[in-house]
Amino acid sequence: MPKIGVFVCHCGSNIAGTVDVEKVAAAARTIPGVVVACDYRYMCSEAGQETITKAIREYGLDGVVVCSCSPRMHEATFRRAAEREGLNPYMVEIANIREQCSWIHKNREEATEKAIVLMRAAVAKVKRDTPLTAGRSGVTRRALVIGGGIAGLSTALDVANAGYEVDIVEKEPTIGGKMAQLDKTFPTLDCSACILTPKMVEAAQNENINLYTYSEVEKVSGYVGNFTVTIRKKARFVREDRCTGCGACMEKCPSRKAKNEFNCGLNTRSAIYIPFAQAIPNVAVIDAQHCLKLQTGKCGVCEKVCAAGAIDYTQQDELIQREYGAIVAATGFQPIRPYQFGEYGYGRYPDVITSLELERLMNAAGPTDGELRCPSDGRKPKNIVFIQCVGSRGQTCRDKSYCSKICCMYTAKHAMLIRDHWPDMDVHVFYIDVRTPGKNFDEFYRRAAEEYQVDYRKGQVGKIYEEDGHLMVQGSDLLEDRQVLMPADLVVLAVAVEPSPDARKLATMLTASMDNNDFFTEAHPKLRPVESPTAGIFLSGMCQGPKDIPETVSQAGAAAAKVIGLLSKKELTANPCTAHPEEVRCNGCGECEKVCPYGAISYEEKELRVMGRREKRRVAVVNTALCQGCGACTVACPSGVMDLQGFSNRQILAEVDAICR
């Protein structure tokens, strides 16, 4: 019979306050096979661990049960202690008598009884534990960053500067993302382009960085350290190696009715275009939807005027396959288009715009050359009304449930800049709360109100309508306890942000989990905030949740540190608690593959000896590098042949027996 030691932790008063720990230890001593059982104030302390290692030595223990906190906290600590003493680390079991017992019960007697049951179950399991050895695999020393906005660029630069190769895949024709569209940034009011473009140039010039613009991830396979990714490089119809970015084609292109995406559709662009002056790469792209040559076969003007001979109407999408050790999702966000809020008239009244549209209307490179004008008729607005929380913080089907986090600050910025440039304009802001946590943030907002006399009104807007040639804003002022009706020339909606619509598709390819809002979820909200629960997948920027630029850059750096940590390893230790089928009994039905969230299960034709006969059979095969040990397949398997190492069916049943006894 294996020799087992049981160690019961007080965790100060966390456990001992509710559970009679001595009684638990005494109960352990009555179980056959338990040769030593004791309690101690802090089992995780040096002295506590010493108690365990000493017992392993003195009693020649085959297995250890620690009754303490959640295994998420100290399982690794106790396993390492056992390993130091020569015991296989997977011969250590944790009975969680804190989170699952002392913290949730008040009655000492009942809690003690439950702690004893949990201990008994762990002892039953450890008796059936087998020593496990973690497998090892190599690491491809190259990272893939998906998204070339400020998040992706920051992560890529940090990883590249540590000496590793990085590929950036960006779906737009240029890197830069949303930050390139912004005019100024809070709370310092630096020009967004002035601080972003050097980063873009740096990325383009960095020897370790390879840019795939106008490209999308098509397929992902493999596992941490060894991903294989297919990238679709969309046809630009312009040869990147030849185009000099001179812009002659854009001038001569006769098709000029396409909406200019970079200016939020506030003006138009030619069918062949470079998104903006500082675009990287500075290479034109043909929008096939609007190109006369590609649509009708008649035109070809750009080809004629291109001195570099870069135009190629026959260009096809190209598929590229590359290997990576780590993948970073940096797919960013988009502001919602608030058509669902019909009472605000977005889409009906041209002078009701979103904040991102306002950025373009205030930007020197925007459609009005930086002169703030009403989109309807180009007049200079006199009264400007901002509405906060449009689509954020709601509970209805039109709203996002979360706070979009950046709007209070950028509206303060907009309001301040408008009052600074055009003091004759009046600015009103309807808000629910003004939320400004962040360094120098509240001071910034107060400056808008105090120095620039921005009219902040605690209230919301119920309806916007046009009357006598201008917009009427019907709102509430809760501090004055009344309804207000004010004319406005321009209404700016601070709309909710949402994850990029492509993120869901990508998450599926990466087997990375997402929340209900389609933001990527982190492995642990506090302790592992930049990792996805899927090994080797990291998160950078808004794709994980709303955040401003400083926070995005910090998170991007943190993701880079995690990537560097992974790529710097010579080899990876795999989790040995993986699934494996009993091949002889497997009938290859396919149920386990269907439920595996990690794509770790495939099928092979294998020659097996069944009842003395040799026969060829389709059987499940688990890629142990991909398997995360979740156990979904073990429950799905109709013939019960799938088992999980370290959590085998017989171990679990033994635990259940111990509990029910």
Partner 1 sequence: MTVTEKEVSRQILQLSGANANLCIRCGRCTAACPVAGQMDQKPHRFASLLLHGQADTLLRSNSIWLCLSCMACSERCPRGVDPARLVEGVRQYAVRPRGMAHFSPDQVPDVVDDEMPQQALMAALRKYRK
Partner 2 sequence: MKQYSYFPGCTLKEKARELDLYARQCAEKLGFSLQELPQWQCCGAVYPMASDEIAPKLSAVRALEKARQQGQDLITVCAACHHVIKRVNDDMKQGGDIADRANRYLGFDTPYEGQTKVVHYLEVLRDEIGFDAIRARVEKPLTGEKIGAYYGCMLLRPSGVMQFDDPESPSVLENLLAALGADPVEFPMRNECCGGYRVVDDAQAAGHTARRVIENALKNGVEELVTACPLCRYNLKKVAGGQIRVSYFTEVLARALGLLKEGGINA
Which residues lie near partner 1 (CB under 8 A)?
343, 389, 393-396, 398-399, 432, 458-463, 474-478, 481-483
Among partner 2, partner 1, none, what does residue 459 contact (CB within 5–8 Å per kind)?
partner 1
HEC string of 26-63?
Answer: HHHHCCCCEEEEEEECCCCCHHHHHHHHHHHHHHCCCE
Looking at the Cβ atoms of 446 and 458, the one nearer to partner 1 is 458
Q: Is there a contact between 488 and 472 (Cβ–Cβ < 8 Å)?
A: yes
Q: How many CA atoms lie within 13 A of 157 on its CB side?
A: 20
Q: What is the smallest separation between the CB atom of 468 and partner 2, expressed in angstroms?
A: 7
Tokens found for residue 434: 């003004």
Radius of gyration of the chain (CA): 31
CA distance 32 to 35: 8
Among partner 1, partner 2, none, what does residue 348 contact (CB within 5–8 Å per kind)?
partner 2
Q: How many CA atoms lie within 13 A of 492 on its CB side?
A: 30
Looking at the Cβ atoms of 48 and 391, the one nearer to partner 1 is 391
Q: Is the dihedral of CA 103, 107, 110, 116 positive or negative?
A: positive
Looking at the Cβ atoms of 40 and 341, the one nearer to partner 1 is 341
Looking at the Cβ atoms of 293 and 470, the one nearer to partner 2 is 470
Q: What is the smallest separation between the CB atom of 342 and partner 2, expressed in angstroms?
A: 2
Looking at the Cβ atoms of 463 and 505, the one nearer to partner 2 is 463
Binding residue for partner 2 (CB under 8 A) from 241, 467, 605, 607?
Answer: 467
Looking at the Cβ atoms of 59 and 465, the one nearer to partner 2 is 465
DSSP letter string over 547-609?
A: --HHHHHHHHHHHHHHHHHHHT-SEEEPPS--EEE-GGG----SHHHHH-TT--EEEEEEEEE
Among partner 1, partner 2, none, what does residue 516 contact (CB within 5–8 Å per kind)?
none
Q: How many CA atoms lie within 13 A of 56 on its CB side?
A: 25
Position 468 contacts partner 2 (CB under 8 A) = yes
Contact segment (CB under 8 A) with partner 2 among 243-251, 258-266, 282-290, 336-344 equals 336-344
Among partner 2, partner 1, none, what does residue 460 contact (CB within 5–8 Å per kind)?
partner 1
Residue at token pair 């943190």: 558
Looking at the Cβ atoms of 346 and 410, the one nearer to partner 2 is 346
Looking at the Cβ atoms of 343 and 433, the one nearer to partner 2 is 343
Q: Mapping DSSP to helix (H, G, I), strand (E, B) and coil, where does residue 165 land?
A: strand
Residue 190 is which amino acid? D
Among partner 1, partner 2, none, what does residue 575 contact (CB within 5–8 Å per kind)?
none
Under DSSP, the state recorded for 521 is P
Q: What is the smallest separation between the CB atom of 342 and partner 1, expressed in angstroms?
A: 10
Binding residue for partner 2 (CB under 8 A) from 371, 466, 582, 593?
Answer: 466
Looking at the Cβ atoms of 59 and 339, the one nearer to partner 2 is 339
Residue 92 is which amino acid? V
Q: Is there a contact between 562 and 530 (Cβ–Cβ < 8 Å)?
A: yes
Position 318 contacts partner 2 (CB under 8 A) = no
Contact segment (CB under 8 A) with partner 2 among 461-469, 517-525, 565-573, 601-609 equals 461-469
Q: What is the smallest separation between the CB atom of 396 and partner 1, expressed in angstroms?
A: 5
Nearest to 422 by CA among 381, 365, 450: 381
Position 337 contacts partner 2 (CB under 8 A) = no
φ/ψ of residue 441, rounded to 5? -80, -50
Starting at the edge strand found earlier in the chain, the sheet holding 537-539 runs: 209-212, 165-169, 142-146, 326-329, 537-539
Binding residue for partner 2 (CB under 8 A) from 40, 90, 223, 341?
Answer: 341
Position 395 contacts partner 2 (CB under 8 A) = no
Contact segment (CB under 8 A) with partner 2 among 283-291, 338-346, 514-522, 589-597 equals 338-346
Contact segment (CB under 8 A) with partner 2 among 62-70, 259-267, 437-445, 458-466 equals 458-466
Among partner 2, partner 1, none, what does residue 466 contact (CB within 5–8 Å per kind)?
partner 2
H-helix or E-strand spanning residue 160: helix 150-161
Looking at the Cβ atoms of 466 and 548, the one nearer to partner 2 is 466
Number of residues that bind partner 2 (CB under 8 A): 11
Binding residue for partner 2 (CB under 8 A) from 50, 251, 318, 343?
Answer: 343
Q: Is the dihedral of CA 199, 200, 205, 207 positive or negative?
A: positive
Contact segment (CB under 8 A) with partner 2 among 24-32, 256-264, 342-350, 540-548 equals 342-350
Q: What is the smallest separation between the CB atom of 347 and partner 2, expressed in angstroms?
A: 9
Nearest to 463 by CA among 475, 471, 480: 475
Mode of pairing for the β-strands spanning 258-259 and 326-329: unpaired
Q: What is the smallest separation between the CB atom of 543 and partner 1, expressed in angstroms?
A: 25
- Helix, strand, coil percent values for the chain (each to nearest 5): 30, 25, 40
Position 12 contacts partner 2 (CB under 8 A) = no
Q: What is the smallest separation between the CB atom of 429 and partner 1, expressed in angstroms?
A: 13
Position 463 contacts partner 2 (CB under 8 A) = yes
Counting DSSP H helices and E strands in the chain, the numbers are 17, 34
Among partner 1, partner 2, none, what does residue 462 contact (CB within 5–8 Å per kind)?
partner 1
Looking at the Cβ atoms of 144 and 461, the one nearer to partner 1 is 461
Nearest to 98 by CA among 31, 8, 5: 8
Which residues bind to partner 2, rule: CB under 8 A? Answer: 341-343, 348, 396-397, 463, 465-468
